[in-house]
């Protein structure tokens, strides 16, 4: 159980939580929500011990194993699988113990304790899931969208977003009582997101997740914690339930507020009327006290509404862009998209869809001049002014500088330097008011930084917006504001986003990036979800066919019914192959263990250890035999189906 009693939490001069009390029970799936800068990440700091309460009591079971996603970009040559595997702290602990015991045993072969320790460690290894640790790690990596030929690539060969996915996989790999996830969907695209939802639905421990994604929260949480105005409120239910309850509560609060106002007015009238009369002075006095004691109900402050707009573009070239017979990618050996010929017209609102790693960002980056086209031409309309927003864009901010300094620099770069008051006013429209214009960007929350980048983009008055995952870090109200602003934007929009609501509300056509091409996508987002499912099936089959490449190609041209038959066969083969793979993996593990134990038996050892090893060998034999039978049966069935197809 996690309990907060009258907890106060401060950050710099700001009080984030003021005497809050809340209890979270084991096994609860908690969504932690609130506006950008409300203090969600800071509260995580309290949970994981990096921050301390400034008042009140906070407690968390000391024996709880905690898993969380490391925030830093991993810099290591380690293979992706090993990197993720290392997240399994329990297994790593046992491996370490085994290594220590081995070393002790080596140093002194007569050391009975070392012998025992080795035997124990082996037993624990099994309990810690050593036998399927690698497939477990790889399932996480593949689920998060990596290709199977990337499983053992070094971590630092991946781009930033992908390395963060590995960090996420590593956290999920850790057997834990408490899982803390701070905006885990930020680096994911739609299909990885759907995979993560289903993974989290099976997670057994207590989970607290910060997210601004309504659909995601609804899918994975059953309790909602809301931070607002330095208060922390617990609601039983997922995000939608929370919204409904809150609405009701606000209505009730509003009517309670009006009632209280009436009552206070009444008391005041009484006091005023009787204060003058000596005989009534005592009653008046008690009414004054009553008035003072009355717990004030706040009026409902609709969450400070936030809106902004893009300035009207100075001109709208048409077409904005003409791409002709172009190839995009990262050098001649790494072409991602080829023979692209498309035009982008004034006023088009294009959603760019595509599965992981198909080249959406490559397309956007090329148009934004971040990388050059490998072949072909991109002709730009006269007066084209691109506003580009990418996740890495947050890196363009300088941590020691404040928002005002950023704006001053930008204003000087793109036009006549703005007056300070003008810049302050402009920042004000993006909710950077008062002290915040002077707060170092490095200490700001993720959403605050993203908001500043948006502000800087608007200042540049673009006519073509290239937005690559613009809603990461933004709270719902700011997303809403962005959606409204984008809807009113008169220029052209190209948007890559995993935010289903945003895509739905601002795009009216879609491009699909996949299989090395860009094509218009004929359908809506639901059709796209189906397309993703089909596509991932196709990729899996392709991968399988590659491993089966040794199989002889069919000699006779296939007829339609042949094709049908083959498809049926594939369907029937799939579960068998899977079963076979599992059986083989387990057999290999048991055989390895067996060899290992047999080798160990040849070493000098005490009677207890010898007995233990003997028992284990027997157990292995007991498990191996039925497995071998199963193996024979499966290979037989597979051969039979192969022969008919
Ligand atoms: N070292 C600091 N000095 C001053 N203010 C700070 C410091 N660290 C954080 N803050 C402020 O504390 C507030 C809470 O930050 P926190 O990162 O917890 O917000 P958050 O709820 O996670 O927001 P987001 O949704 O944007 O991630 C922010 O307004 C931030 O600017
Ligand atoms: Mg945060």
In this structure, the answer to whether residues 288 and 336 fall within a common structural domain is no
Average pLDDT of the residues in 389-412? 86
In this structure, the answer to whether residues 435 and 567 fall within a common structural domain is no
Is the link from the previous residue into 382 a cis peptide, with omega within 30 of 0? no
Instruction: Reply yes or no on whether the pLDDT at 366 is more than 70.
Output: yes
The token pair that represents 273 in the structure block: 């009327």
Instruction: Reply yes or no on whether the pLDDT at 186 is more than 60.
Output: yes
Is 198 part of any domain? no
Q: What's the 387 CA to ligand 2 centre distance in angstroms? A: 25
> Which domain does 640 fall in, by range?
560-644
Ligand in closest contact with the CA of 448: 1
Average pLDDT of the residues in 554-574? 58
> Positive or negative CA dihedral for 578, 579, 580, 583?
positive
Biggest CA pair distance of the chain: 115
Give the pLDDT of residue 55: 95
Rg, the chain, Cα only: 31
Find where tokens 């007995």 sit: 611
Is 503 part of any domain? yes
Ligand in closest contact with the CA of 11: 1
Q: Which residues in 269-283 are b (16+ Cβ under 10 Å) and which e? A: ebbeebeeeeeeeee
Average pLDDT of the residues in 451-460? 91
Q: What percent of the chain has pLDDT over 90?
A: 45
pLDDT band with cut points at 50, 70 and 90 for residue 282: low
Q: Of all helices (H) and strands (E), which one includes residue 184?
A: none
Name the residue of 229, 303, 397, 443 whose CB sits within 8 Å of the most ligand 1 atoms, as the mutation to test its pocket: 443
Give the pLDDT of residue 544: 65
Cα 437 → chain centroid: 29
Say which residue, 505 or 336, is predicted with more confidence: 336
Is 486 part of any domain? yes
- 349-353 and 14-24 strand pairing: unpaired
pLDDT band with cut points at 50, 70 and 90 for residue 570: confident
Say which residue, 273 or 297, is predicted with more confidence: 273
Do residues 470 and 454 lie in contact, with contact meaning Cβ atoms separated by under 8 Å?
Answer: yes
In this structure, the answer to whether residues 419 and 335 fall within a common structural domain is yes
Q: Any idea which of 34-38, 99-103, 415-419 has the lowest mean pLDDT? A: 415-419
What are the pLDDT digits (tens) for 416-425?
A: 777 889 999 9
Residue 500 sits at the vertex; the CA angle it makes with 513 and 450, to the nearest 5 degrees, is 90
Closest residue by Cα to atom 18, ligand 1, is 39
In this structure, the answer to whether residues 494 and 358 fall within a common structural domain is yes
Is 139 part of any domain? no
In this structure, the answer to whether residues 364 and 461 fall within a common structural domain is yes
**Ligand 1 close to Cβ of residue 403 (< 6 A):** no
The CATH number covering residue 376 comes to 3.40.50.300
In this structure, the answer to whether residues 387 and 452 fall within a common structural domain is yes
Q: What's the 52 CA to ligand 1 centre distance in angstroms? A: 15
Q: What's the 40 CA to ligand 2 centre distance in angstroms? A: 5
In this structure, the answer to whether residues 482 and 590 fall within a common structural domain is no
In this structure, the answer to whether residues 500 and 383 fall within a common structural domain is yes
The token pair that represents 482 in the structure block: 């962005």
Give the pLDDT of residue 554: 31
What are the pLDDT digits (tens) for 515-551?
A: 899 999 988 877 887 777 777 677 667 766 665 544 3
Is 622 part of any domain? yes
CA distance 498 to 468: 10
Helix axes 446-459, 420-429, angle to 10 degrees: 120
For 138, what's the count of Cα atoms within 13 Å in the CB-facing half-sphere? 12
When the pLDDT of each residue in the chain is averaged and rounded to a whole number, the result is 85
Ligand in closest contact with the CA of 450: 1
Say which residue, 187 or 441, is predicted with more confidence: 441
In this structure, the answer to whether residues 564 and 510 fall within a common structural domain is no
Give the pLDDT of residue 557: 35
Q: Quickly list DSSP for 128-184.
A: TTGGGHHHHHHHHHHHTT--GGGTTSBGGGS-HHHHHHHHHHHHHHS--SEEEEEST
Do residues 81 and 151 lie in contact, with contact meaning Cβ atoms separated by under 8 Å?
Answer: yes
Q: Please tell me what DSSP assigns to residue 440.
A: -
Q: What's the 403 CA to ligand 1 centre distance in angstroms? A: 15
Cα 69 → chain centroid: 10
Q: For the chain, first and last CA: distance in Å?
A: 57
Q: Quickly list DSSP for 354-396.
A: --TTSSHHHHHHHHTTSS--SEEEEEEPTT--EEEE-GGGGGG
**Ligand 1 close to Cβ of residue 41 (< 6 A):** yes
Closest residue by Cα to atom 28, ligand 1, is 37
Do residues 340 and 328 lie in contact, with contact meaning Cβ atoms separated by under 8 Å?
Answer: yes
Q: CB count, 10 Å around CB of 29?
A: 20
CA distance 53 to 297: 27
Residue 153 sits at the vertex; the CA angle it makes with 151 and 155, to the nearest 5 degrees, is 105
Closest ligand 1 atom number to CA of residue 444: 31
**Ligand 1 close to Cβ of residue 211 (< 6 A):** no
Is 520 part of any domain? yes
Is 477 part of any domain? yes
pTM of the model as a whole:
0.70
CA distance 311 to 386: 13
Closest residue by Cα to atom 16, ligand 1, is 39
Dihedral of the alpha carbons of 365, 368, 372, 377, in degrees to the nearest 10: 120
CA distance 26 to 61: 10
The token pair that represents 186 in the structure block: 């930020």
What are the pLDDT digits (tens) for 134-150?
A: 999 999 999 998 988 99
Is 168 part of any domain? no
In this structure, the answer to whether residues 565 and 530 fall within a common structural domain is no
Instruction: Reply yes or no on whether the pLDDT at 559 is more than 80.
Output: no
Q: Any idea which of 264-273, 550-559, 611-620 has the lowest mean pLDDT? A: 550-559
CA distance 469 to 160: 14
Total domains present in the chain: 3
Q: What's the 14 CA to ligand 1 centre distance in angstroms? A: 9
In this structure, the answer to whether residues 371 and 437 fall within a common structural domain is yes
Q: Any idea which of 147-151, 192-196, 367-371 has the lowest mean pLDDT? A: 192-196
Closest ligand 1 atom number to CA of residue 43: 18
Instruction: Reply yes or no on whether the pLDDT at 560 is more than 70.
Output: no
Distance set, CA 294 to CA 167, 280, 287 (Å): 51, 21, 10
Q: Any idea which of 44-58, 319-333, 491-505, 623-637 has the lowest mean pLDDT? A: 623-637
Say which residue, 554 or 17, is predicted with more confidence: 17
Q: 465 forms bridges with which residues in the sheet?
A: 387, 493
Q: Please tell me what DSSP assigns to residue 553.
A: P
Closest ligand 1 atom number to CA of residue 40: 21
The CATH number covering residue 639 comes to 1.10.287
Boundary-marking domain end, from 517, 534, 551: 534
Q: How many residues does the chain have?
A: 645
Q: Phi and psi (nearest 5°) for 3? A: -130, 140
What are the pLDDT digits (tens) for 199-224?
A: 999 999 999 999 988 889 999 999 99
Instruction: Reply yes or no on whether the pLDDT at 296 is more than 70.
Output: no
Q: What's the 211 CA to ligand 2 centre distance in angstroms? A: 9
> Positive or negative CA dihedral for 277, 281, 285, 291?
negative
- 66-68 and 178-182 strand pairing: parallel
Q: Quickly list DSSP for 70-133.
A: --SPP---SBHHHHHHTT-HHHHHHHHHHHHHHHHHHH-TT-HHHHHHHHHHHHHHHHTTGGGH
Q: 31 forms bridges with which residues in the sheet?
A: 209, 224
In this structure, the answer to whether residues 615 and 579 fall within a common structural domain is yes
Do residues 510 and 528 lie in contact, with contact meaning Cβ atoms separated by under 8 Å?
Answer: yes
């Amino acid at each position: 159980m996690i309990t907060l009693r009258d907890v106060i939490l401060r950050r710099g001069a700001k009080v984030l939580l003021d005497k809050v009390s809340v209890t979270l029970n084991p096994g609860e799936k908690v969504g932690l929500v609130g506006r950008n800068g409300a203090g969600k990440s800071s509260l995580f700091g309290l949970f994981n011990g990096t921050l301390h309460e400034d008042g009140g009591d906070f407690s968390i079971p000391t024996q709880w194993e905690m898993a969380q996603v490391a925030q830093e970009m991993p810099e290591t040559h380690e293979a992706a699988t090993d990197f993720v595997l290392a997240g399994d702290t329990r297994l790593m602990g046992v491996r370490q113990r085994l290594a220590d015991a081995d070393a002790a045993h080596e140093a002194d072969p007569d050391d009975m304790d070392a012998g025992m320790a080795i035997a124990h460690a082996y037993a624990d290894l099994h309990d810690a899931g050593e036998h399927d640790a690698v497939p477990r790690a790889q399932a996480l990596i593949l689920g998060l969208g990596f290709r199977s030929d990337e499983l053992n690539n070094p971590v630092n060969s991946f781009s930033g977003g992908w390395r963060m996915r590995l960090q996420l996989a590593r956290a999920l790999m850790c057997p834990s009582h408490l899982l803390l996830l701070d905006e885990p969907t930020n680096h994911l695209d739609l299909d990885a997101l759907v995979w993560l939802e289903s993974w989290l639905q099976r997670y057994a421990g207590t989970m607290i997740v910060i997210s601004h994604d309504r659909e995601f929260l609804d899918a994975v949480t059953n309790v909602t914690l809301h931070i607002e105005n330095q208060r922390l409120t617990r609601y039983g239910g997922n995000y939608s339930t929370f919204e409904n309850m809150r609405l009701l509560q606000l209505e009730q609060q509003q009517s309670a507020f009006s009632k209280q106002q009436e009552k206070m007015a009444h008391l005041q009238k009484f006091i005023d009327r009787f204060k003058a009369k000596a005989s009534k002075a005592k009653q008046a006095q008690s009414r004054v006290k009553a008035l003072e004691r009355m717990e004030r109900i706040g009026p409902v402050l609709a969450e400070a509404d936030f809106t902004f707009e893009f300035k009207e573009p100075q001109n709208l070239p048409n077409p904005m862009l003409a791409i002709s017979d172009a190839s995009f990618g990262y050098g001649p050996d790494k072409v991602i998209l080829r023979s692209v010929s498309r035009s982008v017209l004034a006023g088009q609102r294009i959603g760019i869809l595509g599965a992981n790693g198909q080249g959406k960002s490559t397309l956007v980056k090329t148009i934004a001049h971040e990388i050059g086209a490998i072949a072909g031409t991109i002709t730009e309309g006269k007066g084209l002014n691109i506003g580009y927003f990418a996740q890495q864009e947050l890196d363009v901010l300088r941590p020691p500088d404040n928002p005002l300094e950023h704006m001053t620099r930008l204003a000087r770069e793109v036009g006549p330097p703005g007056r300070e008051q003008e810049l302050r006013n402009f920042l004000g429209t993006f909710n950077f008011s008062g002290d915040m214009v002077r707060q170092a960007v490095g200490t700001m929350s993720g959403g605050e930084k993203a908001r500043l980048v948006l502000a800087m983009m608007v200042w540049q008055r673009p006519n073509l917006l290239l937005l690559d995952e613009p809603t990461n870090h933004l709270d719902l109200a700011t997303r809403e504001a962005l959606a409204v602003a984008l809807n009113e934007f008169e220029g052209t929009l190209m948007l890559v986003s995993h935010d289903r609501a945003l895509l739905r509300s601002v795009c009216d056509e879609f491009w699909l990036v996949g299989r090395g091409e860009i094509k218009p996508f004929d359908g809506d987002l639901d059709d796209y979800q189906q397309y993703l499912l089909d596509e991932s099936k196709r990729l899996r089959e392709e991968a399988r066919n590659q491993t089966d490449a040794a199989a002889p190609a069919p000699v006779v041209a296939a007829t339609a019914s042949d094709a049908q038959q083959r498809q049926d066969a594939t369907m029937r083969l799939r579960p068998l192959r899977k079963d076979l793979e599992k059986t083989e993996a387990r057999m290999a593990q048991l055989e390895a263990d067996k060899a290992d134990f047999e080798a160990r038996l040849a070493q000098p050892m005490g009677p207890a250890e010898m007995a233990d090893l003997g028992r284990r060998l027997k157990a292995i034999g007991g498990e191996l035999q039925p497995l071998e039978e199963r193996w024979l049966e499966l290979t037989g069935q597979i051969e039979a189906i192969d022969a008919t197809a």
